[in-house]
Structure 1
Amino acid sequence: MAILRAILGFTNASLIVMTVILMLLFLYLSLVCQLARVVNVLENIYGFNALKKGKDLANGNKLVGMEIAFVLYGFLVGLILVYLLFVEYGYEVLIWVLIWRVMMGILCGVIFFLVLLLVFIVTQTVVYLVCKSYHREAIDKVGLSTFLSAYMAETIVYPRSGEEIQLVCPQPPSNQEN
């Protein structure tokens, strides 16, 4: 920021330009990290490889993904502002005002945890699937269905015949009888 400020000068316009540049950079990085998070879960790719895959998936849909991230973060900032205005910095002159603050705090918490976090997760997954289809990459629907149904307790994954569940690697069962 200091280099940009020195190049552009010390005016309000340079501050606005730097804010826009940093906001676009933040939105792009959040898009790549959100895609990497979904890649990490659905494709079992971890670390920098997941970030690289997320960056590759974002190519071609950067603007749409950044717009979606902007809207989601806008809702988050709005919720934080409502919390700060009505709960954190409200005055306690009457008991009704205190009850109002408690109710607004509970409402903001419920909206944040139940709605906003779930909307973030679903939106990240939809953006991932749209980016995969944009690049014409195959989506393993059977594997995805099996993976998701295991969380819904619909499918029980058993080891193959002759294997025991171990922490390190599968071992054939021993033939010793006690």
Structure 2
Amino acid sequence: MDLPPEELQFLSITDILKESSSIPKQSPKTFYLITLTLIFPLSFAILAHSLFTLPLLTQIDSPFGSHSSQWTKLLIFQFFYLIFLFAFSLLSTAAVVFTVASLYTSKPVSFSSTLSAIPSVFKRLFITYLWVTLTMSIYNIVFVGFLILLLIAVDTQNPILFFFSMIVIFLLFLVVHVYITALWHLASVVSVLEPVYGFTAMRKSYELLKGRTWMAIVLVFVYLAICGVINGIFGSVVVHGGEDYGILVRIMVGGLLVGVLVIVNLIGLMVQSVFYYVCKSYHHQGIDKSALYDHLGGYLGEYVPLKSSIQMENLEV
């Protein structure tokens, strides 16, 4: 992040990854504590989820026992799991984006100052997340609609309808789903660094992605693919590998995969922060560091009216 703002637009995907990986070196203690208290629990929960649900699903499939009580336990567990996942995902995003921005503006960084800023940042991210959820709900309705169309094509043995449904489903997941995810990640950064959130942050994110859409899609797709591989290996070795692997091997592999996912999530969060500055540079929207410094201070009760623009054209939410 030592490059002049106007040169950030020329960063390639490899450059962004290198730049993101080097950021924790600027404040290792802060990032270590963020990783330990926020990103590690999030990563562990993502992988360990199937370990807890598998016994319940096995009992539900069993012809013996009370299925209603097992379903109740499963639904309660899923509810609290989703709440935990949602909370720690937003908390991790708030902490990393705020810390990276503080380093970018040479603002003093510490774990305590990051924690102090999180409550205000969390509210903004939550409202933005609600708009993303609405967008994803519309996407899921369309996706399910084409899945039903695919089942109808199989049932009626209609090759044209089958081929059409498969192509649309493939494009919906590979392009639309990944694009919405990229839109959400960038909107999260916008919600922290600019005085906009919710729908306005989504719209600003859409504008920033123009010209850098495919770069964003590649970054998100690679991230999702790596997470998918990690989950796949964890499921086959740790969750379902009881007959083929010993307990020691499963513990070692599980610990290794959790560690890898922690690193992937940490770098992923920093990538979305760096990518924001790349998009701003690409659109020639210079960021006044002193104004951004004051904006970040507002989360800590140090707010000073903005002295200059951070290219925040829309102040309404």
TM range, normalised to the smaller chain?
0.7 to 0.9
C-alpha spacing 1:141/1:18, structure 2 compared with 1 (3 Å): same
Which one-letter code corresponds to 2:192 in the other structure? V
Aligned to 2:199: 48
Secondary structure of the 1:63 match is helix
Aligned to 2:170: 20
**Match 1:79 to one of 230, 234, 254:** 230
C-alpha spacing 1:62/1:159, structure 2 compared with 1 (3 Å): closer
TM-score, with structure 2 as normaliser: 0.42
Deviations 1:9-34 (A, max 9, x none): 333x3343123211200111111111
Q: Distance in 1 between matches of 2:284 and 2:244?
A: 61
Cα deviation for residue 145 of structure 1 reads: 5.4
Secondary structure of the 2:161 match is coil
Secondary structure of the 2:241 match is coil
**Match 1:101 to one of 250, 253, 256:** 250
Cα deviation for residue 71 of structure 1 reads: 0.9
TM-score, with structure 1 as normaliser: 0.72
**Match 1:57 to one of 170, 183, 208:** 208
C-alpha spacing 1:60/1:157, structure 2 compared with 1 (3 Å): same
Greater per-residue helix proportion: 2
Q: Distance in 2 between matches of 1:60 and 1:32?
A: 13
Structure 2 unmatched runs, 5+: 1-142, 154-158, 305-317
Aligned to 2:287: 139
Cα deviation for residue 92 of structure 1 reads: 4.3
1:127 matched to 2:278? The reply is: no
Tell me if structure 1 keeps the 8 A contact 2:183–2:206. yes
C-alpha spacing 1:99/1:149, structure 2 compared with 1 (3 Å): farther
Deviations 1:112-145 (A, max 9, x none): 22x0111111110121111111111011323445
CA RMSD across the alignment? 3.0
Q: Distance in 2 between matches of 1:77 and 1:31?
A: 17
Deviations 1:93-129 (A, max 9, x none): 77xx11110111111122222x011111111012111
Q: Distance in 2 between matches of 1:159 and 1:48?
A: 24
Q: Distance in 1 between matches of 2:255 and 2:282?
A: 41
Q: Distance in 2 between matches of 1:19 and 1:121?
A: 28
C-alpha spacing 1:83/1:133, structure 2 compared with 1 (3 Å): same
Aligned to 2:241: 90
* Larger Rg belongs to: 1
Q: Distance in 1 between matches of 2:200 and 2:227?
A: 29
Tell me if structure 2 keeps the 8 A contact 1:87–1:104. yes
C-alpha spacing 1:47/1:87, structure 2 compared with 1 (3 Å): same
Q: Distance in 2 between matches of 1:45 and 1:87?
A: 43
Question: Identity over aligned residues, as a percent?
Answer: 28
Tell me if structure 2 keeps the 8 A contact 1:57–1:135. yes
Count, aligned residues: 152
Tell me if structure 1 keeps the 8 A contact 2:238–2:253. yes
Aligned to 1:170: none
Q: Distance in 1 between matches of 2:178 and 2:239?
A: 28
More RCO (CA 8 Å, sep 6+): 2
Cα deviation for residue 36 of structure 1 reads: 0.2
